[in-house]
Amino acid sequence: MRHNKSGRKLNRNSSHRNAMFRNMARAVLTYESIRTTEAKAKELRGVVDGLITLALKNDLHARRQAYRVLNNHQMVQHLFDVVGPRYIGGMGGYCRLIKLSQPRVGDSAPMVIFELTKRAEKAVEEAPAAAPAVEAAPVEEKVAKPKKPRAKKAEAEA
């Protein structure tokens, strides 16, 4: 019985599975988008989300934990300096799965594109600051007339 045993085996032993997820996590952080099977992508989501959560902590212990998974100092530095700050203020959901219409040719496995999400709110905040200041011709402003107080307010004040 598989009581309280989470995760898919993916027809691999544990060391092969761990190595595969480490390689896939490195590829996602390097290219920010990979094409893989749906089952692998759903399991990889937890690994990559965990790494980005470590990057948001940004302390020495988190860097060491990320190094245990990535096993590459340059990848850890990229994770903490480039990828992590992109998701400050986020509450998870750093990855997106886009299902492809065509299954894999050899075995008809459902395929997906696994990619890191782009945070729209940061792009919106940076866009006005990056735009050059262009002076436009002065526009006439309409002055609003003061409104008359309503009868109920006038009675209450009296």
Burial class (CB in 10 A: 0-12, 13-18, 19+), 147: exposed
Superfamily (CATH) of domain 14-121: Ribosomal protein L17 (3.90.1030.10)
Q: What is the mean pLDDT of residues 100-110?
A: 95
Q: Where along the chain do its domains lie?
A: 14-121
Q: In this structure, what token pair is assigned to residue 69? A: 């998974």
Backbone torsions φ then ψ of 33, nearest 5 degrees: -160, 130
Q: What is the pLDDT of residue 9?
A: 94
Share of the chain above pLDDT 90, in %: 69
Q: At what angle are helices 60-70 and 38-57 packed, to 10 degrees?
A: 150
156 falls in which pLDDT band (50, 70, 90)? low
E strands within the chain?
Answer: 33-37, 95-99, 111-116
